[in-house]
Amino acid sequence: MVNEDDSIESQDIAEDQVELSENAVQENNTELEAEIERLNKELAQAKDQALRAVADAQNSRRRAEQDIEKAHKFGLEKFVGDLLPVADNLERAITSAGTSDGDIKAVIEGVELTLKTLIDALGRHNVEAIYPEGEPFDPQLHQAMSMIEQPEVEPNTVINVFQRGYTLHGRLVRPAMVVVSKS
């Protein structure tokens, strides 16, 4: 009889051990699943951070390239601004000489050629003159010095240009100083 009780008791112990090991396996599986979930979240965060870092690097590179391009394009802006009064003075010299006698004619031709050379040199560097006479007034390119009533001209039309304006690669260096018609 001892054997039978021992065998029932050992069977109960074996069942308890199986139940304990099943519980341990379930706990272990739950812990492993939680660990896998945590690692998957960390992986997703690391991927996100890596993608953001790559995007930031590309954006920085693109901004640097644009800055370099603008520096090349508009690096001459200040120099051009310094040269424009020279062109204005040459134009004034030609205008003030008007129709003079033969002695000054050669000097006027020399000044005209000098002005043409300067304007051509500026043009090679994408500096373009704005001479808007007869065009509609554009406040982004023109500076109105005065307004004059002119019934035969449409309102807000440039009727006279005091001083030419200039652009460098399409960017305004100096606005044209103009007289505008009013109604």
In 33-77, at which residue ranges do the beta strands (DSSP E only) sit?
none
Q: Mean of the pLDDT values across residues 4-30?
A: 70
Q: Mean of the pLDDT values across residues 170-175?
A: 92
- Cα separation of 64 and 69, whole Å? 9
pLDDT computed for residue 21 by the predictor:
73
Half-sphere exposure of 35 (CA within 13 A, CB side): 6
pLDDT computed for residue 6 by the predictor:
62
SS3 74: helix
Q: Write the pLDDT tens digit of every residue in 124-141.
A: 999 999 989 989 999 999
* Residues 176, 183 contacting (CB under 8 angstroms): no
User: Residue 90 corresponds to which amino acid?
Assistant: L
pLDDT computed for residue 51 by the predictor:
94
* Residues 73, 169 contacting (CB under 8 angstroms): yes
Task: Tell whether the model's pLDDT for residue 172 goes beyond 70.
Answer: yes
The residues that bridge with 180 in the sheet, in sequence order, are 147, 158
In CATH, the number for domain 75-182 is 2.30.22.10
Which pLDDT band, with edges at 50, 70 and 90, does 1 fall under?
Answer: very low
The residues that bridge with 158 in the sheet, in sequence order, are 180
Domain ranges within the chain, ordered by starting residue: 1-74, 75-182
The CA distances from residue 84 to 4, 104, 127, 174, in Å, are: 118, 25, 10, 9
76: CB partners within 8 A, 6+ apart: 125, 127, 168
pLDDT computed for residue 74 by the predictor:
81
pLDDT computed for residue 164 by the predictor:
92
* Residues 166, 174 contacting (CB under 8 angstroms): yes
* Residues 94, 111 contacting (CB under 8 angstroms): yes
- Cα separation of 168 and 181, whole Å? 28
